[in-house]
Structure 1
Amino acid sequence: MNTADKKSFISVLFIIAIDNFGFGLVFILFAPLMLNMHYGMLPSISDAGTRNLFLGLLFAVYPLAQFFGAPLFGDFADHFGRKKALYYTLLGSVIGFLLSGFSILATSYTLLLISRLITGFFAGNLSICMASIADLSPTEKLRARNFGIMTVVWGASWPFAMLAGGYLSDPRVNPLFNPALPFWCAAILTALGILVVARLFVETHEKKEKVYFDFMKGLHNVKQALLISKVRPYFVLIFFWTLGWGLGIQWFGSFSILEFKIPQTIISIYLVIQGAFWTLGGSLINPLMLRRFNSRQNVLIGLPLVIVLLIACGFATTYLWFVWIYMFAAAFASFTFANSNNLLSINAPAKIQGSIMGLSQSMMSLAWLVVPLAGGVMGAIDPHLYYFGAGFFMACGLLVLLLTRRAATS
């Protein structure tokens, strides 16, 4: 990479880090906000089942809005450039985070729901950043390496989100702390991201003249993704990967509480460690494996390990066994995620990388929309099904890849 490309790459990594920071906060904050009557977000007469229903709705509206917003901004980025698209998505995210903080102070569930819709709609940063990485990575090896670095940064930001959500929201740590404060921090960091893009990011994509906005693009994208024969299996692979990993991570806290009666502070610590293992997968396992294998081979090696480890989580009889099995699953999940995205990117035409990544994020958003619904049903039957189901979905992704003839790589 030349100097301009390196600066652009650094700015993209910064955006990915703050994007994941804001995304991760809800895994720590929303459960106590909804389930603890002390916060007053829901009427005190609400029973536990009703509170869980409202919690699931909060989790679901973000990917629902993202499902419609991400592909729009992906097309926008292809037509008007990555830089301008990042300005809009980051500004919208700032507004969403500010409204989230205000709604918590106002103890308004309705405003919080609206804020999650806004934040989700403008959460097209990831697809734009991934398209920018593809623009900056002309070869398969370089692209795989850069996607690996992306997963490292993504994982490295996770512990900060867990710590910020766990401690900055707790007035027992400091009287000035409250559950709104982590969202204020996310808003400030995202605003800083706008400045980073302005100063460092150099446009990576040739702009086009016309753009046609379709607010049903998310639905059309799912259909389109399944019709593009060359990349169809990789869209489906990413969909099943997201279902499997999303089920495991989103219901990690619930499983810890329901099965092992673990307090929230201990859960937060283990989620921080999980982020470290995720980073390990991208920073150590991925580059080592890329020296000997291509991305397809890496997924075929890593995904079976993730499947076995996730299913083993469901059989764990002690919390210590459960969390350490899960940590190793996180390392290999990170590794397979980077290589799965690289498979999609290298098999897509260069001129529509933004659209392809928008399609990918639509598939991921659809999966994240299914996760709270599937998890709610599984938890009502048996919480162990979280991890048996996660392994099953990952196995579906592996089966799709095994049935796919290897495409030519650049």
Structure 2
Amino acid sequence: MLSPKTTLFAVLLVTTIGTAGIALPYPVLAPLFLDGPENALTRFMGLPPKLLLGVLLALFPLGLLLGSSVIGALSDQYGRRRTLVITLVLAAAGYALSALALRWENYALFAVARFITGLCEGNIAIARAMAADLHPAIDRTRALSLAMACAYAGWLLGPLTGGYLAAAGPATVFWAGALAVFACALISRLLMPADEPLNTNGNTSFVQLVRTKNSLALWREPAIRALALFNLLFTLGVNAFYEFYPFWLVEKFAFPPHQIAWNTVVVTGMMIATSVVAIPALKRRYGTQRLVFRGALGLGLVLVLLPLASARGSAALFVLIGVGIATVNGVFPAMMSERFEHFGQGRVMGLLTANFCLTSTIIALLGSSVALLGSHWTLILGGLLCIASAAWLARLQRHSETWPQEANAQ
């Protein structure tokens, strides 16, 4: 039988490699569509490249939204390892199809492949749920914080690797993604414990499970909804930064892929350091809710100021952005897991992943339209959304003194 530490090691390794695979294309797509050659891919149906890129940026998280809303619940029912391995293999096939579409300059096929890949990459929720399942053998907050740190490491390694692999052609980046995700499937099969479904119900069909036990159904719960709305506003702001800072770096400073990648190294490096080193001490000093509030508010203010920065000054602000994102993400998932574990860790973690994906889709479509006026406006919009999330959390604390107790009682 595998020890909890071995399981956690496997979860962290899969999280790192899998997230790196997701992040590989990030520094590639913006230069390809904004500064790349005019061909059937980048000028599909004569549409503006920014809009074509916006659609692609929306399709992947849309797939993630649909996948994460059910994959976490499916793992509660059918077992974590089985569900994870199957979806990882399918995601690897999606990356391979994306590489072929790029080689053939087929925009429609590329869009379909990105959607399918996103649908299967909704398995991110399973890794989080497995980390939470290790409690009390391994402290839940510690396990989830380490999982987030590894996710940040993936966001660091992925764009950095993708930025340099782009020199060999965009298709090479997606072939590398396919290999990385397939490696995750092998690791999951070999190093993760055998399945023991958490919720067995022989009378529940697959279709019924998807319809009634998906993560989005948790929005019906009042206590969860109060916190999920904060998470929705915050992730809207974060995704406005994630998805459009490459636009801004290209538009304002004409950065090539490898320079975009190094800016990503700055922000994700600070996210890793904050998660591993600072989060426990900050939580002890400020408490969970105050820490989340300050992180969201601080991030919003920095994003509003970012468009005013020079190329060198932006690197300093990227440091602060990394601290703000890690502060909220290092504490909030553990808070949700502790309060609502009776709904199933897969469903709860799936809700957070689904929120992230839903906001990615919304901001990709909205942001690409706003970016037509200037990419800096999308960053300002992201900052205002983070500030709005902090205001909502403050309102909950100010006008509902029993809110934390009510959340525990649901």
TM-score (norm 2): 0.89
Matched positions, count: 400
How much has 1:38 moved relative to structure 2? 2.9
Alignment-derived partner of residue 189 in structure 1: 180
Matched, 1:307 2:306: no
* Mean Cα deviation higher: 285-294 or 235-244: 285-294
How much has 1:325 moved relative to structure 2? 1.0
**Structure 2 vs 1, CA of residues 354 and 214 (structure 1 numbering), >3 Å: closer, same or farther?**
same
How much has 1:297 moved relative to structure 2? 2.9
Work out which of the residue numbers 245, 255, 275 in structure 2 matches 1:252: 245
> 2:143 is matched by which residue type in structure 1?
N
Alignment-derived partner of residue 109 in structure 2: 111
Structure 2 residue matching 1:251: 3-state secondary structure? helix
Alignment-derived partner of residue 329 in structure 2: 337
> 2:70 is matched by which residue type in structure 1?
L
Q: Distance in 2 between matches of 1:14 and 1:20?
A: 10
Alignment-derived partner of residue 145 in structure 1: 142
* 2:67 and 2:123 in contact (8 A); partners too: no
Identity, % of aligned positions: 22
**Structure 2 vs 1, CA of residues 395 and 215 (structure 1 numbering), >3 Å: closer, same or farther?**
farther
Alignment-derived partner of residue 159 in structure 1: 156
**Structure 2 vs 1, CA of residues 137 and 273 (structure 1 numbering), >3 Å: closer, same or farther?**
same
Q: Distance in 1 between matches of 2:211 and 2:384?
A: 26
* 1:66 and 1:123 in contact (8 A); partners too: yes
Q: Distance in 2 between matches of 1:382 and 1:36?
A: 16
Alignment-derived partner of residue 4 in structure 2: 5
* 2:160 and 2:258 in contact (8 A); partners too: no
CA RMSD of aligned residues (A): 2.7
Structure 1 residue matching 2:375: 3-state secondary structure? coil
Q: Distance in 2 between matches of 1:50 and 1:336?
A: 36
Alignment-derived partner of residue 81 in structure 2: 83
* Mean Cα deviation higher: 55-64 or 18-27: 18-27
* 1:151 and 1:338 in contact (8 A); partners too: yes
> 1:267 is matched by which residue type in structure 2?
I
Alignment-derived partner of residue 371 in structure 2: 379
Matched, 1:200 2:198: no
> 2:328 is matched by which residue type in structure 1?
T
Matched, 1:71 2:69: yes
Work out which of the residue numbers 346, 353, 356 in structure 2 matches 1:361: 353
CA offset digits 1:174-232 (Å, max 9, x no partner): xxx22222222221222221221122111475241344445996999686333212221
Which has a greater percent of helix? 2
Alignment-derived partner of residue 290 in structure 2: 297
Structure 2 residue matching 1:209: 3-state secondary structure? coil
Work out which of the residue numbers 229, 252, 255 in structure 1 matches 2:222: 229
In structure 2, stretches of 5+ residues that fail to align are none
* 2:233 and 2:388 in contact (8 A); partners too: yes
Q: Distance in 1 between matches of 2:132 and 2:177?
A: 27
* 1:104 and 1:179 in contact (8 A); partners too: yes
Matched, 1:281 2:278: no
Structure 1 residue matching 2:222: 3-state secondary structure? coil
The equivalences for 1:164-183 within 5 A come to: 164-170=161-167, 177-183=168-174
Q: Distance in 1 between matches of 2:4 and 2:196?
A: 8
CA offset digits 1:27-61 (Å, max 9, x no partner): 112123333453735266976x6111111111111
